Amino acid sequence: MAYLRENIKKLGFGLMRLPKLEGDVIDIEQTKKMVDLFMDAGFTYFDTAWAYAGSEDAIRQALVERYPREKFQLATKNAAWINCKTREEATAQFDISLKQTGAGYFDFYLLHNLGEARTRYFDDFGLWDWVQEKKAQGLIKHAGFSFHSTPEELDAILNAHPEMEFVQLQINYADWENPAIQARGCYEVARKHGKPIVIMEPVKGGMLATPPKSVEEILKAAEPESSAASWAIRFAANLEGVITVLSGMSNVEQMQDNLSYMKDFNGLTEKEQETLKKAQEELKKIPLIPCTTCNYCAKVCPMEIGVSGSFTAMNYLTLYGSKDQALHQEEWLVGKHGRKSANECVKCGKCEEVCPQHIKIRDELEKITAELLGKLL
């Protein structure tokens, strides 16, 4: 079945992780080279955001000022939940984005990172109607939103706002059946509503570029010359109803690798799909904390410990061996959600009385304190 902008090639340039020079300054010259390689290969979708420091200005210099406007699609986003107290402060982000990109209009404009308490900012500020006004003015061609939460919440938002044309979702083969992310569930909800999807985090923030050794061995046995990242992006691009798959490339080499297998991508073969199923099964064998993020523990914890967030962070450490990424998850899922760290547990045991998975929560929090939080305390 035909869907919105299905003619766009299935690799999008995510502009969140652009190459940097010393002093955390974006490397404009290398970005220009990456843009040129991307465009020369026939790819045209670029994804930035008001919240991505320096990104909108960089893409103005590397793309907008160097190519005819009709030759590419540019997407950016509105993050009303970042320090906005009024509708005016929230909508001002749009004007800033227009000025920083110099784009004149946006092909795709997203309400950014909906889900949980963040959604109410877009409701309270009336941004659903506002974005349609911008569309009527010709400043936005297609309006949608990016989303990080449960399939149930996504279903409720799409029921309330059927006018939104597309959804941006975190989808990758590691999270496809992951109860903490529920990628498959969210994908199926979007498709049920007939919404096409832009896929973000296909390589899980770089994690699937260096997967656990047992998983990497499966991928290398099937295709010795192919990168691990290529399998992750192809998995996402193979799904039906996908506008494009965003890859946050940080150097020319990553761009060249992505282009090498996506330039003529026509879907996964049965053999390739079987390899990815084996990789998913191997991931399931790795001993993780079996938390489903039901958060019953949070309802009874007298200390307001961010149990499920800490468990997700610890699972990151177990799977990928990256303490930095695990601590990033801990900071976001625990601290930024107003919960307390594992080390503040008083071992009362109330959480274990209500846990449907019968997890020894107190023992796991003690392990997280020692192995993940250790030097921070």
Sign of the torsion angle spanned by Cα atoms 176, 202, 198, 89: positive
Residue 245, SS3?
A: strand
- Amino acid 375: pLDDT: 52
* DSSP H/E element including 135: helix 127-136
Kindly tell me if the per-residue pLDDT of 196 is higher than 90: yes
Query: Using CA atoms, how far apart are residues 20 and 16, in angstroms rounded to an integer?
Result: 11
Closest by CA to 317, choosing from 356, 351, 346, 288, is 288
Which residues, including other chains, have CB under 8 Å from residue 145's CB and lie 6 or more apart? 110, 111, 112, 114, 122, 157, 164, 167, 168
Query: Using CA atoms, how far apart are residues 377 and 373, in angstroms rounded to an integer?
Result: 6
Average pLDDT value over all residues in the chain: 94
CA distances from 54 to 51, 84, 92 (A): 9, 20, 17
Write down the pTM of the prediction: 0.86
The mean pLDDT value for 56-63 works out to 98
Is the model more confident about 101 or about 319? 101
The mean pLDDT value for 163-178 works out to 95
Kindly tell me if the per-residue pLDDT of 145 is higher than 60: yes
The mean pLDDT value for 131-142 works out to 98
Query: Using CA atoms, how far apart are residues 63 and 205, in angstroms rounded to an integer?
Result: 24
Closest by CA to 311, choosing from 339, 285, 283, is 339
Query: Using CA atoms, how far apart are residues 303 and 348, in angstroms rounded to an integer?
Result: 10
The mean pLDDT value for 163-176 works out to 96
DSSP secondary structure string for all residues of 265-301:
-----HHHHHHHHHHHHHHHHS---------HHHHH-
Please, what are the domains in the chain?
Answer: 11-279 (3.20.20.100), 296-376 (no CATH)
The mean pLDDT value for 176-200 works out to 95
The mean pLDDT value for 1-20 works out to 92
Q: Are strands 25-26 and 45-47 parallel, antiparallel or unpaired?
A: unpaired
Kindly tell me if the per-residue pLDDT of 231 is higher than 60: yes
Query: Using CA atoms, how far apart are residues 65 and 60, in angstroms rounded to an integer?
Result: 6
Using 50, 70 and 90 to split pLDDT, how confident is the model at 354? confident
CA distances from 146 to 12, 180, 255, 315 (A): 15, 17, 24, 24
Q: Which residue carries 């506002």 as its tokens? A: 130
Query: Using CA atoms, how far apart are residues 30 and 46, in angstroms rounded to an integer?
Result: 16
- Amino acid 376: pLDDT: 53
The mean pLDDT value for 335-346 works out to 94
Is 315 in contact with 330 (CB distance < 8 Å)?
no
Lowest mean pLDDT of 72-76, 210-214, 222-226, name the range. Answer: 210-214
- Amino acid 293: pLDDT: 81
